[in-house]
Amino acid sequence: MKAIRIHEDGGPEVLRYEDAPDPEPRPGEVLVRLRAASLNHLDLWIRKGLPSVSKPRILGADGAGIREDTGEEVVINPGLEHGETITVLGEHMDGTHAELVAVPEANVYPLPEGLTFEEAAAFPLVFETAYRLLVTKAQVQEGEWVLLWGIGSGVGTAGLAIAKALGAKALVTSSSDEKLERARELGADAAVNHASGDVREAVKEATGGKGVDVVLEHVGEATWATSLAAARAGGRIAVCGATTGPNPLANLHRIWWKQLTIYGSTMGTKEDFEGAYELVASGRAKPVIDSVFPLADARTAHERLEAGEQFGKIVLSIPT
């Protein structure tokens, strides 16, 4: 089969479009002939060696395609549960940036009606992550305000879709006015340019001075102080990443003065995936696609994601 593999850590230049052995399903696994896969920041980290994985390695957590044994159109849950431990396709085993992948039968679900393979491949990892952050952890309620940093990101657009599906209000940020306008079209209730505007003032204006109920924090050092300031007294901050660095000033006084709750979260359980899947399958939440590249052009796709140019998910189409 054709696949995108890495044989060493590095930049997009280490991605190779090449022949690789067809995977052989183990007991309990099924073979999926992929029609589409998507990129996540996880793919960039692994390609760079953060963490460095055994090689050669096929990247990719998300995918949709056709079961070889039944002909059923399916989407893959990228989280593989081992008791209390969850591993991820493309990080701990070969992933979806290939023509074929072998996965546990329990991890394949019927393609939601009305969704293309590209749309189905765009939602699993980020929707599962955002669902766990907002629903399982922060327990966002109808009418509450949610602050979503960096709305062009996959987890940002997923968070917006889930927040709106649950009746919450969303305040989104970006350094791009064009992305903010796109977010408004998707239902954002308020928007602020975090490069040229004042996020704290925007929060005060939107919430009548109370602050947001929930912050979805995945940026880290560049946003942490503002996240603490933006949360209302008794608010919740759900953390799933730190793309600008993991060690901000803690500002512990804000946590106890405001009686904030900080949730850490990564990936999601089978139940989290199924909750996100139901929102997508019912049409209440829709994945956002930024662009689609042929599998062979994975380098270009990586470059676009690394540059932060995208709004939503970058998808790889896989030829039949």
In this prediction, residue 299 carries a pLDDT of 98
pLDDT of the residue at 73: 98
Q: What is the structure's pLDDT at 172?
A: 98
Question: Residue 128: is its pLDDT beyond 90?
Answer: yes
Q: What is the pLDDT of residue 142?
A: 98
If asked whether residues 118 and 130 sit together in one domain, one would say no
Mean pLDDT of the chain: 97
DSSP 8-class letter at 205: H
Mean per-residue pLDDT for 108-127? 97
C-alpha to C-alpha distance for 255 and 262, rounded to whole angstroms = 8
Residue 282 in domain: no
Structural domain contains residue 276: no
* Contact predicate 307/23, CB 8 Å: no
What pLDDT band is residue 83 in, cutting at 50, 70 and 90?
confident
The C-alpha atoms of residue 208 and residue 212 are separated, in whole angstroms, by 10
Give me the CATH number covering residue 11.
Answer: 3.90.180.10
High-pLDDT (> 70) share of the chain, %: 100
Q: Are residues 144 and 186 in the same domain?
A: yes
* Percentage of the chain modeled with pLDDT above 90: 98
146 and 209 share one domain = yes
What CATH number is attached to the domain comprising 190? 3.40.50.720
Same domain? 244 vs 182: yes
The Cβ of residue 205 has, within 10 Å, a number of other Cβ atoms equal to: 13
Overall number of domains in the chain: 2
Read off the pLDDT band of 84 (50, 70, 90).
confident
Rounded Cα–Cα distance for residues 179 and 132 (Å): 25
pLDDT beyond 90 at 320: no
Mean pLDDT, residues 301-318 taken together: 96
SS3 label, residue 32 = strand
Q: Provide the pLDDT confidence category of residue 60 given band limits of 50, 70 and 90.
A: very high
Q: Would you say residue 234 lies in a domain?
A: yes
Average pLDDT value for residue range 249-263: 97
Write out the residue range of the structural domain in which residue 75 sits: 2-122+287-317
Question: At residue 144, does pLDDT exceed 90?
Answer: yes
Q: Are residues 60 and 141 in the same domain?
A: no
Instruction: Look at the alpha carbons of 92, 97, 102, 104 in this order and tell me if their dihedral is positive or negative.
Output: positive
Residue pair 74/110 in contact by the 8 Å Cβ criterion: yes
Can you give the pTM of this predicted structure? 0.96
What would the pLDDT profile of 183-240 be if each residue is shown by its tens digit?
A: 999 999 999 999 999 999 999 999 999 999 999 999 999 999 999 999 999 999 999 9
